[in-house]
Amino acid sequence: MLVYAGIDEAGYGPLLGPLCVAASVFVIERSDASRGAPDLWTALDGAVCRAGNDRRGRVAVDDSKRLKGANDAKGHPLRHLERGVLAFLAAGGEVLPADDGALVHQLGASPPCRDEAPWYDGVNQLPMSLEAGQIEIAAATLRRAFERAGVRCTGLLCEIVDAGEFNRRFGLSRNKATVSFDSVVQLVESIWRRWPEEHPRVVIDRQGGRSRYREALSLCFPEAEITVLGETERVSRYRLDRRGSRLTVSFEAESESAHLPTALASMTAKLVRELLMARFNRWFAAQCPGVRRTAGYVQDGRRWLAEVAPALDALRIDREHLVRRA
């Protein structure tokens, strides 16, 4: 049996809104780990694909940047992200969430504190872009593919870091990459604790462009013996041994293109961030009529801050909870 997981983030670069780091975990019943990571796109070919416009109606799983539609596109921009994430949740045994609050709960995430960030109040009903029945059909197709391939999707997880928490972490480390890495480590720890006897393999997208992670892993897992299995321009791989339990973690450039679990993690993180930004924009539109929505990225975030500046003072909003320091 192989425990095969992927981790990726959405929202590392923006000025506004949350950083979301997600994981997806699969169990492959019949797998020889010595041959490397299996190709789940091929194993689940009857139910999944990479393209969003598949004629066979399969579930698209790919880097979220490829699957999120433009906001002015004809179809709903979150259609493929929502269909993929909710179908995999349902195929893994979860009840379809009625709204994004329920989704966040199912992902094991803590929503932003309403006292510090009231702009995340309110909910988005789910699904937004499809009928629930369409999601159930996709989930049933996935279940059949899982059974044929001896594969199970055993969980989707997410960590949400809003601006206030982001700034608190940055204040301690003075290193933006460490803020994201802290959430990655929490997800790795969660996976390792759930499967301590199974030697999980976890694939993570490269963190901030760095290629060496042994020192950072040593600080985060002080009880583990860490062995460097390889450090190249594209892949950095390590084995962690702790109290008779073992885990292998790989940091890989463009891992969403090579590993379906990392691609699904990318989609999960992006969907959660987009849903929270929808709350964000709706709340500020009510407080500041006429303000244009923002995705939170630096240039547009500065434009948005200039538009809402008078209202921020009137509403007594602490910018430390709204705007990231880095």
Residue 159 φ/ψ region, left for φ over 0, alpha for ψ in the -120 to 50 degree band, beta for the rest: beta
Helix ranges, 74-175 (H): 79-91, 100-106, 132-149, 163-173
pLDDT of residue 34: 63
pLDDT of residue 238: 98
Nearest to 191 by CA among 168, 157, 218, 164: 157
Which single residue is written with the structure tokens 């604790």? Answer: 193
Q: Mention every residue, 6+ apart, whose C-beta is less than 8 A from residue 258.
A: 37, 203, 252
Structure tokens at 121: 């109040």
pLDDT tens series, the chain, 326 aa: 899 999 999 999 999 999 999 999 999 988 766 667 889 999 999 999 998 888 899 999 999 999 998 876 677 899 999 999 999 999 999 999 999 999 999 999 999 988 899 999 999 999 999 999 999 999 999 999 999 999 999 999 999 999 999 999 999 988 898 999 999 999 999 999 999 999 999 999 887 677 899 999 999 999 999 999 999 989 999 999 999 999 999 999 999 999 999 999 999 999 999 999 999 999 999 999 999 999 999 999 999 999 999 999 899 999 999 999 98
Q: Which long-range contacts (CB under 8 A, 24 or more apart) does 151-154 make?
A: 151/26, 151/27, 151/28, 151/29, 151/40, 151/43, 151/44, 152/26, 152/27, 152/29, 152/92, 153/24, 153/25, 153/26, 153/88, 153/91, 153/92, 154/25, 154/26, 154/27, 154/92
Q: How many CA atoms lie within 13 A of 201 on its CB side?
A: 22
Predicted TM-score (pTM) of this structure: 0.96
Crossing angle of helices 132-149 and 79-91, in 10° steps, is: 50
pLDDT of residue 75: 76
* C-alpha R_g of the chain: 20
